[in-house]
Amino acid sequence: AKRGTDTAVVARRSGQRRINLFDRSGLLEELEEALIDGSLQWHWQPKIDMRDSRVLGFEALVRWRDPRGNDVPADHLIQTVEQSPLLEDFTYHSLDRVLEQFAALQGALGHATICINISARMLERSGFVDKVTECIARHGVDPLRVTLELTETALIANPGQAKRVIEQLQDRQVGLSIDDFGAGFTSFGYLREFAVSEIKIDRSYIRRFAESRFDQSLVNSLVVLCESLGIPLVAEGVEDARTRDLLVSLGCHAGQGYGICRPMPYDDVRHWIERWNGLQSAA
């Protein structure tokens, strides 16, 4: 706790640089606490059909305010967790919390699904499939309405094992999405090896979309590929109407982004759906 106080002083003076000054064990100690006291939150961001604005689902995104009141960026948090012994506890905690919340909202959600980010490293952990399906069943959720988004900051070390796990998840009707497709370590090899149920094009291809012939051609090819493979394609990072319209005209119909709706606290979701559906039927 003493170290925490010192860090707080440094934090106020140095702003953003605070993260670099943090010693890793300090962050992990606090996170371990957070897993117990329930202070991790998940914000929900809608994914819609951009043709008719129908809500297809929500992605749950972790939010954490550390004990000094600073918001820790999700990707920093996840990178730290992935390299720590907390990865399993964090993952099962996130599944439990998000599925509990999803179950409580199910009546208001229509056919919308829930997408939960999972570190690719979890595919190598024994008992993963059983624990996922047990958690889904415990909350009385239909596995068809659950998609795991595979995020990774490292190459999958054991593709054979990952493939088996993905097939088992599919057998149990849990969806699997390849996140940030085209960035980092993801590749076309994934599509050949793994039976995935969704592909999310990385935001970096969508950001300058309206100006970039290259990015448009790439999305165009992905649309053709996904159509022939029967895999839904999702654009993430849709920030404006022009990008949205262009994506739709190229055949990419599902989208997520600040231009549609920012991630929101769970407590706002019910009200947001009512308003959103009201706006659509008034239009």
Closest CA to 146 of 154, 155, 161, 136: 136
- Binding string, residues 121-160; x marks residues near Mg ion by CB under 5 A: ----------------------------x-----------
Query: Which residues are within 8 A (CB) of 22 and not within 5 positions of it... i.e. 6 or more apart?
Result: 7
Smallest distance from ligand C2E to CB 212, Å: 16
Smallest distance from ligand C2E to CB 228, Å: 25
Provide the binding-site residues for ligand C2E, judged by CB under 6 A. 45, 61-62, 73-75, 78, 94, 117-119, 149, 151, 179-180, 203, 236-239, 256-258, 263
Would you say 7 or 113 has its CB closer to Mg ion? Answer: 113
Give 120's DSSP letter: G
Transcribe 190-240 into DSSP letters: HHHHS--SEEEE-GGGTTTGGG-HHHHHHHHHHHHHHHHHT--EEEE---S
Give 144's DSSP letter: G
Smallest distance from Mg ion to CB 59, Å: 5
Would you say 30 or 236 has its CB closer to ligand C2E? Answer: 236
Query: Which residues are within 8 A (CB) of 37 and not within 5 positions of it... i.e. 6 or more apart?
Result: none
The site partner of 33 among ligand C2E, Mg ion, none (C-beta below 5 to 8 Å per kind) is: none
CB 60 within 8 A of CB 114: yes
Site for Mg ion contains 180 (CB under 5 A): yes
Site for Mg ion contains 30 (CB under 5 A): no
Binding residues vs Mg ion (CB under 5 A): 117, 149, 179-180, 236
